[in-house]
Structure 1
Amino acid sequence: MFNFDSMITRQRKWMLYWLAILVLCAGFLPYTRIFLGLILGSSISLYNLWLLQYKSDKFGKTVAAGQKPRTGLGTFTRMAAAVLAVLIAMRFDEYFHLYAVIIGIVSSYVIMMIDYILYQIIIIIRNSKED
């Protein structure tokens, strides 16, 4: 479980760094509408990431204890959050760029892939140094 806990922490840090960069870009660059859309989508993506990690941890502990899981991994809730972000972007289209919101929604999945690739590279480097 230690690897899972460290993975959760790493991915949340990467998401918070990403959101901080977007806030700085929205404040200093002239493409405010695009960056606000990315911030909205990435915020929903951070919520979805947190929910997925929470539900996965709970699901894993339930199965490890030999019990039958009562709930799923929250797919409907995560989809509903994404739809809510798109509806907000459509309602307030003068503030949020719709395509940027959609790109922001998938940002946690991109971060999960990057984290996995970097973690695998680090493992390969560590194993090659031990040999």
Structure 2
Amino acid sequence: MQTYQHMIARQRKWMFYLLALFVLGWGVTPWPSIFLGLLLGSALSFYNLWLMQRKIRMLGEASAENRKVGGIGTFTRLASGALAVVIALQFEENFHLISVVLGLMAAYIVILIDYLFHKSTV
């Protein structure tokens, strides 16, 4: 369980770094709509990451105690992705839609990179 907690902390840290990078890109580059779209998608992706990690922890605890648990929040994660797209379509002048979709995938990219960097240490 300790290894899982370290993994969660690493992934959240890298998501914060990525969000900070997108804020800087929004503020200093000539492409504010692209970085604002990445920021919106990544912020909701960070929420999805937090939700998924919490549900997986609860699932692990329930299986250790031989209890049943509900779902792992797939519908909620899909709904937050739909929310991001609706916001981007509502405010098209501020958000680049493709950037929002790419930002929604940010957490999964962070998970993949974290796995690739730390699989040799396990």
State the TM-score, normalized to the length of structure 1: 0.91
Aligned-partner Cα distance in 1 for 2:51–2:75: 11
Correspondence 1:1-20 to 2 at 5 A: 1-20=1-20
RMSD: 0.8
Runs of 4+ in 1 over 2 A off after TM superposition: none
**1:100 matches 2:95:** no
Residues paired across the two proteins, number: 122
Unaligned runs of 5+ in 2: none
1:38 equivalent in structure 2: 38
One-letter code aligned to 1:119:
H
| Structure (1 or 2) with the larger CA radius of gyration | 1
**1:28 matches 2:25:** no
Q: Deviations over 1:33-89 (max 9, x none)?
A: 0000000000000000000000000111011011122x1100000000000000000
Query: Per the alignment, in what secondary structure is the counterpart of residue 73 of structure 1?
Result: coil
Aligned-partner Cα distance in 1 for 2:83–2:68: 31
Percent identity, aligned pairs only? Answer: 48
State the TM-score, normalized to the length of structure 2: 0.98
Unaligned runs of 5+ in 1: 125-131
Deviation at 1:117, TM superposition (A): 0.3
